[in-house]
Every structure is written in C-alpha cells, then in structure tokens.
Amino acid sequence: MTRRDGVMRLRKILAVVPVLVISIFVLSVAAQAFSQSRRFSDIVALARIADDNNGLAPDLLAETVPELQPIVSEKICRSDIVKAGLRLVLADLDANGVDPASDSSAARLGFAETFIRHSLFCFPANGDVWLRLAMVRSLRNASPMEVAVLMNFSQLYGPADANLIRGRFAMWQQFPKNTLPEAEAAREADTAIVCGRQGEILRWTLAEVCPKPPSADTKRPAPLS
C-alpha cells in the first residue's frame, strides 16, 4: 500500500468517526428518554387523573409524592415529568391540608418547596412556578420582602396569563395593599389588566379589585364661582 493510499484511508476513517460519535450520542439520549418515560409513566398518568374533577384520593397522593424524590435528586428536567410531579405535589397540599404546626404538614411543605425549587432550576422563566413558590413560602412564614420578590418574578414571566393573574390575586388578597410595597408595581400591573379591555373574562371572578365608578345619582359639588 502506497503512502497516498494510507492517507486516503485515514481520511475516510476520520470522516466516519464524527458520524459514529453523533450516532452514539443520539442513541444514548433516546435510550435515556425511553427509560425515563417508562420509569415515570405512572406519575404522568396520575397527574392527568389529578386534573379531573374527582381528582385522586388523599391517601393515594400521600403515597405517591415520595416517589417524586428521584426527579429532584437525579436532576431530571423533562418538561412532562417535572410538570406532572409538580401537579401531584400541589394536589397533595390541597387534599391533605396544610398545618405548619404539625410535623407531617411541615414535612409536606418542605418537600413541596424542594420540588418547586427544582422546577425553577429546570424552568427559571416560568411565571407559574414562581407563583407556586411564593404560595408555599408564605405558608412557611417567609418575610414580606421574600414573598414580594417571588411575586415580582411571577408577574415578570407571566404578565398577561389569565390563570396566573387569578392565582396571583389569590395571593394579593392575602396581603392587604401596602403590606408588600416592593411588589406594588406588579399588583398594579395585574389590576390594570383585570380592569382594562383585556380583562372582561377575568372580571367575572375579580370584579371587586376594580375601582367602582361614581354612582349616577351622586351629586356633583356646586361650583365655587
């Protein structure tokens, strides 16, 4: 074999190597995705049931939530898996109640915060996750400043989402005006949407947040001159 033949053969080998590396990488990613889909298929299915009107039994939720720990510990960030886990964590809080004074509730809130923070690690620009963290932190006696910061991020990343605005008003109404001065601009932005042209549907449930127009029979003050 001549030197030229050796060079041509080396070039062919070098051309094949990147293809093999990319193929192996794609196959490994696909295998990992398939493994995760099979491993957490029950979690995703239960989250769909939790969204139904009847939901899941409190006992079943309490038994399922500990199975979400590997999602956090292994830093799994697949959207469908993380969102399903978050749905079950929140459903567990709703179904089993929250009493920070009891050890079981404190543990439930602690894991909820851990899972939500993992969700933020995966989706830092998701306004809904910031809102959920604000809700859980408020239940764990967070400072008003901390709650305000979290609410600001929720409004920043979901300024016009109707469901998020409803959720934020559930929080705004827990904190009288001026108790969260650092989040006053976010509260006013939400109020402006509810009371503006875009907020017709929102006003079905949030009409009380809008300033009331003056009554038609209100007498105008007499002119001074």
Domain residue limits, the chain? 39-123, 142-210
pLDDT digits (tens, 9 = 90+) for 137-169: 999 989 999 999 999 999 999 999 999 999 999
pTM exceeding the 0.75 threshold for the entire prediction: yes
pLDDT over 70, % of the chain: 78
Cβ neighbour number for residue 23 with a 10 Å cutoff: 10
pLDDT digits (tens, 9 = 90+) for 58-102: 999 999 999 999 999 999 999 999 999 999 999 999 998 877 678
pLDDT for res 143: 94
Concatenated DSSP letters for 105-138?
A: HHHHHHHHHHHHHHHHHH-TT-HHHHHHHHHHHH
Confidence class of residue 25 from pLDDT cuts 50, 70 and 90?
A: very low
Measured in Å, how far apart are the chain's first and last C-alpha atoms? 113
Cβ neighbour number for residue 206 with a 10 Å cutoff: 21
